[in-house]
Amino acid sequence: VTDGTGKLPDEKITLKVADSVPSTNFISKEGIVYWMNRVKELTDGKVEFEYFPSEQLGKASSLLELTKSNTVDIAYTSYATEEMPLTEVAALPGAIPSSVKGTKMYWKLVDQYLLEESYLSNGVRPMFAVTLPKYQIITTNKKIKRLADIRGLKLRTSGGPIEVATNEIGASPVAMAAPEIYTAIERGTIDGAMLAVTSYQPYQLQKAAKYSTTNANMGSFIATYSINEVVYQKLPYFVQEAMLQAGEETMQHFSTYLDDHVEELTQTFEQEGMDMYELDGETLGNLNEEIQKTWDDWANALEARGYAGHEVLQRFEEIKQNLGN
Amino acid sequence: MTIVLPILLLIFFLLFGMPIALALGIAGSIGLIINEGWQAFFGVIQTAPYDSVESFVLSAIPMFILMAAIMSVTGLTKDLFYSAHQWLGNLPGGLGIATVFAGAGMGATSGSSTASAATMASAAYPEMKRYKYSTPFAMGVVSISGTLAVMIPPSIILIMYGILSEVGVATLLIAGIIPGILTAIGYIVTILIWVKIKPEDAPTIEDKPTMLVRFQSIKYTWPVLLLIFVVVGAIYTGVITPTEAGAVGAFTVLLLAIFMRRFSLKSCNKVLLETLKSTTMILTIIIGAMIFGYFLTITGATQNLVTYIEGLDVSRYVILSIIVAVFLVLGFFLDQMAILILMVPITFPIVIALGFNPIWFGILVTKAAEIGLVTPPVGMNVFVASGAAGVKTTESFKGVIWFVVTDLIILLLLMGIPEIATWLPETMNN
Amino acid sequence: MKQLHHIFEKIERIFVILSQTALVIMMILIAADAASRYVFGQSIIGIYEFTERYLMIAVIFLSMSYVAKLDGHIKLDVLIDRLPASVTEIFNTLFQLLGAAFIFAIGYQGMVMTYEAWSNQVVSTGLIAWPVWLSYIWVPVGAYLFTCRLMLQFSQSLLLLLGKKKRQFIVKKEDVI
Ligand code: NA
Ligand code: NA
């Protein structure tokens, strides 16, 4: 088999991979590194990678651009939600039940619709995408017993749907650089934050805050690695196959890891003195009802700009039904 | 060769007087083009300039410089140093010691050493000149005092190390306290020795001011002292974040100056231009340093170096020393943040595998970064301070040498006695 | 030529005033946000993004050219102080041309980036849909200004080298502020 450029398959192919997370982070270890290793194995070492973690080649928000311009071949395109707004559907509050299920749902949607609409139109193809665990409410001094307890809290959020949801439930969303969260929580500049439990440890938040919900569903984040489409099309067929297979395996491995890891971390943080608690049924119900009001606004705003917001929502719902919850 | 050529070009550009920002950017670009091709070059110059500037945290730089410019133009800093001189002037190098204190104070409010250096340069340098201190002495003290912001918490460098290595940020910040104080003491001792050897560099006040004169000198000073106290207090009680402190400080100083009838619309233009000059100079260099850093990274230059060191068959202390030395050498050329991003992810696993304490390593790395801020050819603090004071960089580098020697001694001390870094966090954890 | 120079200086001045204004707004907004968060327990939405995406970019890029005019982009003087003036002037002229080409490339890429964001109507996600092209556009504007400034300096150095102009034509620092 030869590819378009006439390269023989026994020639080594080296690809540059860039992301924005430290190589010690789980997204790196259980995600891209796992994937790279699988590709190497499946191609008998024909494919090699040069890996640049930790924003070594560019800020998170620029990684799509660097892939498009082929400065690198493969990158973490998770922060390209402005260029691919429809991909945010799985990040909406209440959208995904768990990492494993969320990942399956999202990948199905990619297959059906987003691959053409969002990724290929931006010149990239996703290799794998995993939905992070549901975002929780972590607070310094106040345990949330009723919905009213959230009102007026200053909560650090990243932008996007989480910010909208935080505002919807009457809390004050505070924007802040991630490295500053720790000090801000510790000194009471803010009352807490919205994050996945898996993100507490990288920022040491379990040492700064006392309380965290465990069953809220404030939204998620989709960790996606994509390859430059032109580069992909030039790869030998067996390499493409290997990459797709490695992608499937990585999603299975990574999402299972995340769900298990949340359980584990919850216990660890509890032992370290944090109060990890569940919201009662009624509070959770009220909360979900309120945050799901933001879905329509999300879709409407997109429709106004010519994106099929409602269609994507509907497709995502259908996929969820078909998967059984 | 393809990696060495751009480095040689950089040195050539710098020596023959190309602006530092352009030298870094152009040498880096040439490196990208010959190693990776035009596509990579276009990709990097599209993203790097915007990315290097688009940061809320970096807004601390213009805001702290603005605060300093207002204080300087309205004469508030002059009063402050007049007072410091009345109190400390009888000590040898008194104004220099006052500058170190002020630098430590700034360091406790700010995580940014460049902002701190610019503030010190526009505030302390003119005063030291007025009292006939020599230029290298004054600029040396100013440039080095700015670096105290790096070790004394809050520190952007320590926080960045914490994030890259996933070592506890809180523990790291606490670990920085004693080395930070030790460094400040080291600088004061250096000043005392310097003045002992060359008294003409920092003339002492002949007549001793009376206590009355001393207390009277506080008259115009207390509003500023109060302000510093309030801003520091607001940071430590969590009312504001360290990043916001610059803006809040600038705004408050402005109100204070208007209240004291020191501020006119005419001075407004001057203040803003001064601020723009320093800020834009700094950030343009950061853009250039980013582009050069991307060239070093994408060609695998740094990675290869580390792989080589890792493979050496020597004692673990030798390897650690080499790694710290590499941080120091990179510090000659690169922006501190770029070095951290480049080096921590690849050296940290080695250091841990060798069984060293991650917090201790963080402090060593931070100390090396601190030194890199004042070493030629790219010594960001010296540039910023020289730019703000309007002095030749050569003069400043000349003055900074002795403080670098002190810093190296402290670095050796830290390597020899890890407890300097680890004792306080361990005590506080128990 | 002289008239062109004059017009350019006027335009450059306008953008510096914009940059100065952005600086003042930045100070007021960040202070107001901190005050609002502390006093009313409510952060003012959008200040963070507005500061980093618009004000920071405008402050830096719109003043680059003026800072070059003030000779504010610092350089090393270890060696050039010891070289004959004629030698440093030759290098200076070369460097200005090289610098102009480099900054022009940045401006061009910035323009492409701005155009793409504009034609695709890219906006930020979250509570406020900030138009992204209005954030990018200061990069090409500032870079092109800087390119013009460098070309101006280059032509002046060249004339100086060729001995057609006297030295005082070059703007002195003191004349500016
Ligand atoms: Na500090
Ligand atoms: Na240096």
The C-alpha of C33 sits at a distance from chain A's nearest C-alpha, in angstroms, of 10
Is residue A8 very low, low, confident or very high in pLDDT (cuts 50, 70, 90)?
A: low
Q: Which residue is closest to C50 within chain B, CA to CA?
A: B56
The answer to which of B382-396, C94-108, C111-125, C145-159 has the lowest mean pLDDT is B382-396
Joined together, the tokens standing for residue B207 give 């007549």
Q: How far is the CA of B87 from the centre of ligand 1 (A)?
A: 26
pLDDT(B63) > 70? yes
pLDDT(A4) > 70? no
State mean pLDDT over A87-98: 95
Chain A contact set for C125 (CB, 8 A): 81-82, 85, 88, 159-161
CA distance A8 to A25: 36
CA distance B22 to B12: 12
- Count of pairs with CB atoms under 8 A, one residue in A, one in C: 49
The reply to whether residue B50 touches residue C76, judged by beta carbons under 8 angstroms, is no
The C-alpha of C151 sits at a distance from chain A's nearest C-alpha, in angstroms, of 29
The C-alpha of C138 sits at a distance from chain A's nearest C-alpha, in angstroms, of 17
Joined together, the tokens standing for residue B324 give 């710290």
Joined together, the tokens standing for residue C133 give 């092209």
The reply to whether residue B163 touches residue A183, judged by beta carbons under 8 angstroms, is no
Asked if the C-beta of B240 comes within 8 angstroms of chain A's C-beta atoms, the answer is: yes
Q: Which numbered ligand comes closest to the C-alpha of B108? A: 1
State mean pLDDT over B155-167: 78
pLDDT(B402) > 90? yes
Chain A contact set for C42 (CB, 8 A): 154, 172
Is residue A2 very low, low, confident or very high in pLDDT (cuts 50, 70, 90)?
A: very low
Is residue C171 very low, low, confident or very high in pLDDT (cuts 50, 70, 90)?
A: very low
> Cβ(A221)–Cβ(A196) under 8 Å?
yes
pLDDT(C176) > 70? no
pLDDT of amino acid B368: 93
> Cβ(B279)–Cβ(B146) under 8 Å?
no
CA distance B56 to C162: 47
Neighbours of A325 (CB within 10 A): 7
pLDDT of amino acid C168: 47
State mean pLDDT over B137-148: 93
The reply to whether residue A172 touches residue C43, judged by beta carbons under 8 angstroms, is yes
> Within the 223-242 window of chain B, which residues sit less than 8 Å (CB to CB) from chain C?
239-241
Q: Among the residues of chain A, which ranges form H helices?
A: 26, 33-42, 63-68, 99-109, 161-168, 178-186, 200-203, 205-208, 229-234, 237-271, 281-304, 309-322
The reply to whether residue C88 touches residue B22, judged by beta carbons under 8 angstroms, is no
Report field, pTM of the whole predicted structure over 0.80 = yes
pLDDT(C150) > 70? yes
Q: How far is the CA of B44 from the centre of ligand 2 (A)?
A: 23
Chains in contact with B, where contact requires at least 3 CB pairs less than 8 Å apart: A, C
Q: Which numbered ligand comes closest to the C-alpha of B245? A: 1
Q: How far is the CA of C75 from the centre of ligand 2 (A)?
A: 14
- Count of pairs with CB atoms under 8 A, one residue in B, one in C: 183
Q: How far is the CA of B117 from the centre of ligand 1 (A)?
A: 12
The C-alpha of C68 sits at a distance from chain A's nearest C-alpha, in angstroms, of 27
The answer to which of A119-123, A131-135, A185-189, A247-251 has the lowest mean pLDDT is A185-189
The reply to whether residue C126 touches residue A82, judged by beta carbons under 8 angstroms, is no
Report residue B314 CA to chain centroid gap: 34
pLDDT of amino acid A7: 53
The reply to whether residue B47 touches residue A58, judged by beta carbons under 8 angstroms, is yes
Q: Among the residues of B37-112, which ranges form H helices?
A: 38-53, 60-73, 76-88, 94-109
The answer to which of A201-205, A279-283, B309-313 has the lowest mean pLDDT is B309-313
For residues C6 and B313, which has the higher predicted lDDT (pLDDT)? C6
For residues B420 and A202, which has the higher predicted lDDT (pLDDT)? B420
The reply to whether residue B280 touches residue C72, judged by beta carbons under 8 angstroms, is yes
Q: Which numbered ligand comes closest to the C-alpha of B153? A: 1
Is residue C172 very low, low, confident or very high in pLDDT (cuts 50, 70, 90)?
A: very low
Joined together, the tokens standing for residue C89 give 């002037």
Q: How far is the CA of B94 from the centre of ligand 2 (A)?
A: 28
Chain B contact set for A183 (CB, 8 A): 154, 169, 173, 238, 241-242
Q: Which numbered ligand comes closest to the C-alpha of B173? A: 1
Asked if the C-beta of B172 comes within 8 angstroms of chain A's C-beta atoms, the answer is: no
pLDDT in tens, B4-34: 999 899 989 988 989 988 998 999 999 999 9
Q: Which residue is closest to B279 within chain C, CA to CA?
A: C60
CA distance A200 to A197: 6
DSSP A110: I
Q: Average per-residue pLDDT in chain C?
A: 90
The C-alpha of A204 sits at a distance from chain B's nearest C-alpha, in angstroms, of 6
| Prediction ipTM score | 0.93
CB-closest option in B18, B62, B280 to C64: B280
Chain C contact set for A172 (CB, 8 A): 37, 41-43
The C-alpha of C124 sits at a distance from chain B's nearest C-alpha, in angstroms, of 14
Interface probe, candidates B16, B67, B275, B384, chain C, greatest C C-beta count within 10 A: B16
Q: Average per-residue pLDDT in chain A?
A: 93
Joined together, the tokens standing for residue B344 give 């921590």
Gyration radius of chain C over CA positions = 20
CB-closest option in C43, C123, C127 to A82: C123
Asked if the C-beta of B358 comes within 8 angstroms of chain A's C-beta atoms, the answer is: no
pLDDT in tens, B175-228: 999 999 999 999 999 999 999 999 999 887 666 788 888 888 888 777 777 777
pLDDT in tens, B368-390: 988 999 998 778 889 888 888 88
Interface probe, candidates B18, B26, B73, B248, chain C, greatest C C-beta count within 10 A: B18
pLDDT(A272) > 80? yes
pLDDT in tens, A308-317: 999 999 999 9
The reply to whether residue A82 touches residue C41, judged by beta carbons under 8 angstroms, is no
> Cβ(B109)–Cβ(B245) under 8 Å?
yes
The reply to whether residue A178 touches residue B163, judged by beta carbons under 8 angstroms, is yes
For residues B64 and A91, which has the higher predicted lDDT (pLDDT)? A91
Gyration radius of chain A over CA positions = 20
- CB environment C109-148: b (16+ within 10 A), e (fewer): bbbebbebbeebebbbbbbebbbbbbbbbbbbbbbbbbbb
Torsion region of A236: left, alpha or beta (phi above 0 gives left; psi -120 to 50 gives alpha): beta
Q: Which numbered ligand comes closest to the C-alpha of B242? A: 1
Q: Average per-residue pLDDT in chain B?
A: 86
The reply to whether residue B169 touches residue A53, judged by beta carbons under 8 angstroms, is no
- Checking A89-92 for CB contacts under 8 A at 24+ apart, the result is A89/A312, A89/A313, A89/A316, A90/A131, A90/A220, A90/A222, A90/A316, A91/A131, A91/A160, A91/A161, A91/A162, A91/A219, A91/A220, A91/A221, A91/A222, A92/A161, A92/A219, A92/A294, A92/A295, A92/A298
pLDDT of amino acid C177: 32
> Within the 269-308 window of chain B, which residues sit less than 8 Å (CB to CB) from chain C?
269-270, 272-273, 275-277, 279-281, 283-285
Residue with tokens 């040439």: B30
pLDDT in tens, C39-58: 999 999 999 999 999 999 99
The reply to whether residue B53 touches residue C34, judged by beta carbons under 8 angstroms, is no
The answer to which of A9-13, B125-129, B369-373 has the lowest mean pLDDT is A9-13
State mean pLDDT over B102-128: 80
State mean pLDDT over C91-101: 97
Report residue B330 CA to chain centroid gap: 16
The C-alpha of A228 sits at a distance from chain B's nearest C-alpha, in angstroms, of 13
State mean pLDDT over C74-97: 87
B136, B27, B130: which is closest to B78 by C-alpha? B130
